[in-house]
Amino acid sequence: MKVKSIVVNGIVAALYIAVSALIQPFGFTQVQFRVSEIFNHLIVFNKKYFYGIILGVFLTNLFFSPMKAYDLIFGVGQSVIALLITIACAKYIKGLWTRMIVNTLVFTFTMFLIALELHLAFNLPFMFTWLTTAVGEFVVMAVGMPVMYAINKRVQFDKID
């Protein structure tokens, strides 16, 4: 991996952590309204952002989560799985908007892992918790699509190399 890629991924991780810190009271609830999840859309521009996103999720959960052990397993695991699914699907999907829509749907669906985490940790009802976490994720990711698209026009995320 090139030095530039390492630095860019470090910046992505730092931004994920900073945004998560700002919304901490809303990021670890039954709704999981974590605005920093919009950075998950970086994966549709270049799969090399995988490392920065995962590092950001890991460190955010390590420093801010009230349930560190659960979040380090389920939260990071959910991100890894969803990002890998999106990377695999991106090979067959043309168009940036379509890939962002698929990414949003993948992250929304895989929130069942976070619902399972909350069920195991707090005995919250699984199906209702899956619904609330999925809705929170869907809203953040859907709103994040035009935001990331607009930022990409200026920054060109696909030019990481």
Domains and CATH numbers, the chain: 3-159 (1.10.1760)
Through-space distance between the first and last CA atoms of the chain, rounded to whole angstroms: 9
* Mean model confidence pLDDT for the chain: 94
- Say what angle helices 126-155 and 96-109 make with each other, to 10 degrees: 150
Average of per-residue pLDDT across 130-159: 95
From the centroid of its chain, how far is CA 119? 20
Confidence at residue 74, expressed as pLDDT on a 0 to 100 scale: 97
Confidence at residue 52, expressed as pLDDT on a 0 to 100 scale: 98
Residue 28 has pLDDT above 70, yes or no: no
Residue 161 has pLDDT above 80, yes or no: no
Banded model confidence at residue 155, pLDDT cuts 50, 70, 90: very high
Q: Within 10 A of 157 (CB to CB), how many other CB atoms are there?
A: 22
> pLDDT tens digits, residue range 105-143?
999 999 999 999 999 999 999 999 999 999 999 999 999
Average of per-residue pLDDT across 28-47: 88
Confidence at residue 23, expressed as pLDDT on a 0 to 100 scale: 81
pTM, two decimal places: 0.95
Q: For the chain, give the percent of residues with pLDDT over 90.
A: 85
Confidence at residue 29, expressed as pLDDT on a 0 to 100 scale: 63
Residue 79 has pLDDT above 70, yes or no: yes
- Name the burial class of residue 77, with classes exposed (0-12), middle (13-18) and buried (19+) by CB atoms within 10 angstroms of its CB: middle
